[in-house]
C-alpha cells in the first residue's frame, strides 16, 4: 500500500518506442504509486526515449520477466505484432487489465488471441503525447472492465494529455479522422502558411518562425481562453480588416469548411478499412 492508501500498480509496457515511452514518462511523472517494466527488443533506443527521471526497467524479451505478474498491460507494438506479443506475455498477465494502443486492432481479435484474458480496453492516443498534450480516446465493453479499471485508464492517459471515453468501438475510427490524424492537418497548415510567407519574400528561416509561432500562439490561446474557436475568430476579425479579407478566401464554399469535412471523412474511412484488414 502507498502512503495515501492505494495499492501500487504494476504495469507491463509491451513495446517502448516513441508512443510507449511517452506514456511511460507521463505515467511515472504523475502517478507515484506505479511500477513500470518495459519489454522492447531495442533496449538502448527505449532507454534513450525514456526520461532520465523515469524509473522504468527495460528488458529485451519476456524471459526476463520470469514468473512476475502485472496488474496492467499496455500493448504498444505495431498492429501486425499485437496478437503474438500478447500471447507471449500471457503467463505474466493473469487477470490483468490490457490496454491496447495498436492501431486498427479490434478488441475481438485480442480476446480471440488470448482466451484467458477478459479485461480489454482500446485506446487511440495521438502524436502530441510526446509533449504531454495528447487527445486520447478509448472504448471498453461495459461489462468487461470495472470502474477502477476505467479510472486507471483515465489516470494513465490523462498523464499525457486529455482522455475521452467513446460510446462504441466504431467511434474510434471516426475519432481517428479528427484526433489521430488531426495533428498532421495542423502541421500541413503550418507548412503551407510558411510557404505563403516565403512567396511574399520572407527568408525561409523567418517564414518558418512566423508560421510556427503563429500556430503555437493560437493553440495556446485556445487552451487558456474559455471562448470557443469561433468566438476567438470573431474577436480577431475586424469588419473590413485584413483578417476578414483572408478569411473571405479561406472560408469560401469548397475551401476550408468543405475540405476539412472531406479530409476527416477520408481518414476515418481509411481507419475503418484498416480495422477490417487481416494483419
Going by pLDDT thresholds of 50, 70 and 90, the confidence category of residue 273 is confident
Question: For residue 24, which of 99, 78, 93, 114 has the smallest C-alpha distance?
Answer: 99
Residue 4 has pLDDT above 60, yes or no: no
Q: Do domains 9-175 and 182-275 have the same CATH topology?
A: no
Give the separation between CA 228 and CA 205, rounded to whole angstroms. 32
In the predicted structure, residue 3 carries a pLDDT above the cut 70: no
Q: How many Å apart are CA 61 and CA 181, to the nearest integer?
A: 32
Q: How far apart are CA 199 and CA 183, in angstroms?
A: 24
- Residue-wise pLDDT tens digits, 61-79: 999 999 999 999 999 999 9
Q: Is pLDDT at 36 greater than 60 in this prediction?
A: yes
Condensed to tens digits (0 to 9), the pLDDT of residues 6-21 reads 458 999 999 999 999 9
Q: What is the pLDDT of residue 5?
A: 41
pLDDT at 278: 58
Please identify which residue in the block is written with the cell numbers 475551401: 255
**CATH class (in words) of the domain with range 9-175:** alpha beta
pLDDT at 275: 79
pLDDT value at 1 more than 60: no
Q: Is the pLDDT of residue 2 over 90?
A: no
Which of 1.10.3720.10, 3.30.70.890, 1.10.3730.10, 3.40.50.1100 would CATH assign to domain 182-275? 1.10.3730.10
pTM of the model: 0.90
Domain spans, the chain? 9-175, 182-275
What is the rounded average pLDDT of the residues 126-130?
96
Amino acid at each position: 500500500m502507498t502512503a495515501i492508501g492505494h495499492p501500487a500498480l504494476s504495469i507491463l509496457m509491451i513495446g517502448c518506442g516513441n508512443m510507449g515511452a511517452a506514456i511511460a514518462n507521463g505515467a511515472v511523472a504523475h502517478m507515484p504509486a506505479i511500477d513500470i517494466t518495459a519489454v522492447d527488443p531495442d533496449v538502448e533506443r527505449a532507454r534513450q526515449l525514456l526520461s532520465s527521471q523515469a524509473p522504468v526497467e527495460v528488458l529485451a524479451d519476456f524471459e526476463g520477466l520470469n514468473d512476475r505478474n502485472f496488474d496492467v498491460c499496455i500493448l504498444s507494438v505495431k498492429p501486425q505484432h499485437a496478437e503474438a506479443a500478447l500471447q507471449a506475455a500471457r503467463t505474466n498477465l493473469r487477470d490483468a487489465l490490457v490496454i491496447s494502443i495498436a492501431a486498427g486492432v479490434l478488441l475481438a481479435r485480442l480476446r480471440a488471441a488470448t482466451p484467458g484474458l477478459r479485461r480489454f480496453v482500446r485506446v487511440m492516443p495521438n502524436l502530441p503525447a510526446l509533449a504531454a498534450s495528447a487527445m486520447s480516446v478509448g472504448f471498453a465493453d461495459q461489462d468487461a472492465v470495472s470502474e477502477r479499471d476505467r479510472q486507471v485508464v483515465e489516470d494513465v492517459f490523462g498523464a499525457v494529455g486529455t482522455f475521452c471515453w467513446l460510446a462504441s468501438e466504431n467511434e474510434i475510427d471516426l475519432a481517428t479522422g479528427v484526433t489521430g490524424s488531426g495533428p498532421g492537418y495542423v502541421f500541413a497548415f503550418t507548412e503551407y502558411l510558411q510557404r505563403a510567407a516565403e512567396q511574399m519574400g520572407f527568408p525561409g528561416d523567418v517564414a518558418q518562425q512566423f508560421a510556427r509561432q503563429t500556430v503555437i500562439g493560437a493553440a495556446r490561446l485556445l487552451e487558456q481562453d474559455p471562448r470557443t474557436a469561433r468566438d476567438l475568430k470573431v474577436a480577431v476579425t475586424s469588419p473590413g480588416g485584413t483578417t476578414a479579407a483572408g478569411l473571405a478566401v479561406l472560408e469560401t464554399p469548397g475551401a476550408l469548411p468543405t475540405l476539412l469535412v472531406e479530409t476527416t471523412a477520408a481518414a476515418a474511412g481509411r481507419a475503418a478499412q484498416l480495422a477490417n484488414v487481416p494483419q
